[in-house]
């Protein structure tokens, strides 16, 4: 059974792509305890065409899906 927290995360991801936005700002969109749900959210975002997604993440795996990765350390850009 899905907990309320996991349900909310899934619904937020669905709402983010439902209205066909041109830009999605995502702060740790897959940061939850259920890894399968994280995969579903990531795949949903990756399948969107014509949408710019700006994602903040600590996950190198999630960052690897991006076309451009900017790494920050202590508030400074260390790699573009």
Q: Which domain holds residue 9?
A: 4-79
Nearest CA among 6, 70, 60 for reference residue 38:
6
Cα separation, 36 vs 42, whole angstroms: 10
Assess whether pLDDT exceeds 60 at residue 1: no
The confidence score (pLDDT) of residue 76 equals: 92
* pLDDT > 90: percent of the chain: 6
The reply to whether the predicted model has a pTM over 0.85 is no
DSSP reduced 3-state for 12:
helix
- Residues 30-45: what's their mean pLDDT? 68
Nearest CA among 44, 38, 36, 39 for reference residue 18:
44
* pLDDT tens by residue, 55-80: 888 888 888 888 889 998 998 999 86
Number of domains in the chain: 1
CB 22 within 8 A of CB 52: yes
The confidence score (pLDDT) of residue 54 equals: 86
The confidence score (pLDDT) of residue 41 equals: 73
């Amino acid at each position: 059974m899905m907990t309320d927290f996991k349900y909310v995360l899934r619904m937020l991801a669905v709402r983010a792509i439902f209205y066909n936005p041109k830009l999605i700002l995502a702060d740790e969109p897959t940061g939850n305890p259920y890894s399968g749900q994280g995969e579903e959210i990531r795949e949903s975002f990756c399948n969107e065409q014509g949408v710019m997604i700006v994602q903040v993440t600590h996950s190198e795996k999630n960052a690897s899906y991006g076309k451009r990765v900017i790494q920050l350390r202590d508030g400074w850009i260390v790699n573009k």
